[in-house]
Amino acid sequence: MENLPVIAQKAPYKLDLTAGKYHWCTCGLSQKQPFCDASHKGSGMKSLAFELTEDQTVYLCGCKNTKNPPYCDGTHGQL
C-alpha cells in the first residue's frame, strides 16, 4: 500500500462527539471516516487513539496531513 495516507476529503469532519475514547483513521482508507475500521492492516500504519473528557464539537482532519492530529489545522487548503 504505497502513497498512504489517502486523502479522504479536502475538508474537516465537523462532529458533535460525546466524552469518550475514539480511534481516528490515519491512512484514509477507512469506510467509516474519520474513524478507523482497520483498513490500514498490512500498511504499516495504525490508528490514532484520542480521548475527549467532555462532550464537544470537533473538527477532525479529512486530508490526513494535519500537523495537529486528529484535528484539522487547515492543511487541506494547501493540497
pLDDT band of residue 1 (cuts 50, 70, 90) is low
CA-based nearest residue to 58, from 69, 45, 71, 47:
71
- Grid cell digits, residue 14: 465537523
CA-based nearest residue to 54, from 20, 8, 9:
20
Neighbours of 43 (CB within 10 A): 14
Which helix (H) or strand (E) covers residue 51, if one does? strand 48-52
User: Domain ranges in the chain?
Assistant: 13-78
Quote the pTM value: 0.92
Q: What is the pLDDT of residues 40-68, one digit of tens each?
A: 998 889 999 999 999 999 999 999 999 99
- Predicted pLDDT at 8: 96
Beta strands in 1-79 (DSSP E): 13-17, 20-24, 48-52, 56-60
